[in-house]
Amino acid sequence: MKRLVIYFHYDAQGLLDGPCRFAVQALVPCADVVLVTNGSLRQQDRDWLNGEQIRYIERENVGLDVGAYREALLTLRRETVSAYEELVLMNYTLAGPVSPLQKMFSAMESRTGLDFWGLTRHYAMSSRRFGGKVPEHIQSHFLAVRAGMLQSDVFWNYWQEMQLPKSYEESIIRHETRFTAHFAARGFAWDTYVQTEDLKTVFVNPIMACPRELIANRGCPFFKRRSFFTPYEDELRRTDGAAARQLYDYLRRATAYPVEQLVASMLRSQPLSVVAKNLHWHYVVDAVPQKTGNLAEQGLRLVRVEPMRADTVTDWYLEQSVQQAETCLAQAAELFRNDPGLGVLFPALPLWPQAADSAAAEWRRVRPALAGQVDVPMTDDPPTAPLAGWALVRCEALAQELPVETLPHARWLLPLLAQKNGYYSATLETAAQAAARADYWQTCVRAANEPAAVAKQLGRLVKHKLKR
């Protein structure tokens, strides 16, 4: 089948990263590819596209993906696009493929009764954010249109009359949630490659809620980048919060997809605190002393920094973490061997509630100074940091920054500098501490469902604040 793929791309720095290149290269054997980017590419990325003989269009960053697709279609012109048997509109927010694309394309080619099809679907829901009643629809990250529809006036009128969105919400309302119903109402038949009808009563958005299931058991060749940096609090309202980590582990274990390269790219554009929550960069170790090998020979270094000072209870627990450092080092070093993207490892913040409050308050104080030192995304939510005063560091992750312990705010700088270099940071704790943490949050959840308990806790907080 003669196929054209219009691949939409956006990067604030004009970077065509490794995961995008990986996707484009996988598409080339299956289609003619035209990349359209909202912005200007770096010269080295233009050179790469020219070397791969891939046409590209650079445009002003207006209209989001809808504007990019519209401009690409009108630039290529109707007579050129309509000469293809199939047009695919694909969004860079999909990562992959994790399996050969020809299997998907061959399976859908055999379904000759379809006029348009997509990778996955989103089920009907109510949403004030997206205009009220949202119908079941093909998700716009991968949308294929067959020749009959492609050559129709209906298709071209849709794009010529399209009002460009000014926000993500408008893009969803004007295109993604509208496209399927608009063309179905005009007699065009549709379906999706990934079948999820049995999940309809479980998840409205399966590719986000259970991506491992779709890849491992339903043949889906792509997943959403956003799985790794979606607001974690939103995920907990829809799922058990484990989807991203399960996906990450599966990709590493069962596929050849370079997921570590994707994570390194995301750390360039996403806050460490957000990615760390979704991927659960937290390890549990046994509190059993083991012989530690030569750290330098393993490319590691034990770094000691000034610990955070807070209330006396927090300080006591942080000092306990420092004393346990030697006990954990051998197990910590093993974690570096297993996870090539791990750059910095240190004890988790104590469960004591005031420890988290103190860390958040200190982060708010030092963040403006850190933003001037390290060019990585930061939010009000503090990243995990070695507040107990020690960290095990992969020397390669800090490049020329060592010895960083002599710098102001070193305990916060360590994870941020590693992030700048494409490495992540993680915390560790003992099994007893992990069990206590799990029991603590279960208690919080139960209490939150009991109005009397909530009122009692609020009273205690007010009393405590007044005393202070």
- 370-405 pLDDT, tens digit per residue, is 998 899 999 999 999 999 999 999 999 987 766 788
Question: Does residue 267 register a pLDDT over 90?
Answer: yes
Would you say 12 and 94 are in contact if contact means Cβ atoms under 8 Å apart? Answer: no
109 confidence band (pLDDT: 50, 70, 90): very high
- Rounded to two decimals, the pTM is 0.91
Q: Rounded to whole angstroms, how far apart are CA atoms 91 and 46?
A: 19
For residue 389, give the DSSP letter.
S
pLDDT exceeding 70 applies to what percent of the chain?
A: 95
Give the domain ranges of the chain. 3-199, 274-434, 437-467
CATH number (3.40.50.300, 3.30.1180.20, 2.60.40.10, 3.90.550.10) of 3-199 reads 3.90.550.10
Would you say 179 and 189 are in contact if contact means Cβ atoms under 8 Å apart? Answer: no
DSSP symbols for 273-336: HHHHHHHT-EEEE---------TGGGTEEEEE-PPP--SHHHHHHHHHHHHTHHHHHHHHHHHH
Would you say 281 and 426 are in contact if contact means Cβ atoms under 8 Å apart? Answer: yes
Mean pLDDT of 341-346: 96
463 confidence band (pLDDT: 50, 70, 90): low
Confidence (pLDDT) at 102: 97
Question: Does residue 33 register a pLDDT over 70?
Answer: yes
Would you say 105 and 3 are in contact if contact means Cβ atoms under 8 Å apart? Answer: yes
Would you say 58 and 39 are in contact if contact means Cβ atoms under 8 Å apart? Answer: yes
pLDDT in tens, 268-288: 999 999 999 999 999 998 867
Confidence (pLDDT) at 406: 82
Range in 24-28, 101-105, 425-429, 448-452 the model is least confident about: 448-452
Token reading at 278: 């979704």
